[in-house]
Amino acid sequence: MVFIIVNADPKADKFYYRELYPLLFKKEFVKEGDYLTTYAALHDLGIYANIEMIEYDFDQPFESIEEAVEFWKEYLGIVTEEHDAALKGFLSKKLVKRRGVLLAKFHKRSAVIWWRKDGR
């Protein structure tokens, strides 16, 4: 079997991108397609997949605010220190401290798209 897990919530803000793009890059974040785009592409390839919706909490832990800043820089493709102060200030307000670690808390709704390789 083949499984793909794709975002299914049009209001979801992956890693705060809707807020961070204007803050850091002075432009709006352009959202990628959702599960329907993936499903349609598979259908065009002759793959008639199944879809099941799931909801879950996704908490990304960090030992320090500096680790969180490096994580976001990696995901945003930032290689310089130009935005470090802005990221640190933003994340200091967003992350929750719990049991000695900082957490970025997200609630997600995703589509599990799956099919059998043999076509059944």
Summarised one tens digit per residue, pLDDT across range 23-38 is 999 999 988 788 999 9
Contacts of 90 (CB under 8 A, 6+ apart): 16, 19, 20, 23
Task: Provide the token pair at 39.
Answer: 């499903």
pLDDT above 70 as % of the chain: 98
**Do residues 33 and 96 lie in contact, with contact meaning Cβ atoms separated by under 8 Å?**
no
The chain-wide mean pLDDT, for the chain, equals: 94
Please tell me whether the overall predicted TM-score, pTM, comes out greater than 0.85 for this model: no
Would you state the pLDDT for residue 118?
Answer: 78
Helix (H) / strand (E) element for 62: namely: strand 50-62
**Do residues 5 and 111 lie in contact, with contact meaning Cβ atoms separated by under 8 Å?**
yes
pLDDT in tens, 51-89: 999 999 989 999 999 999 999 999 999 999 999 999 999
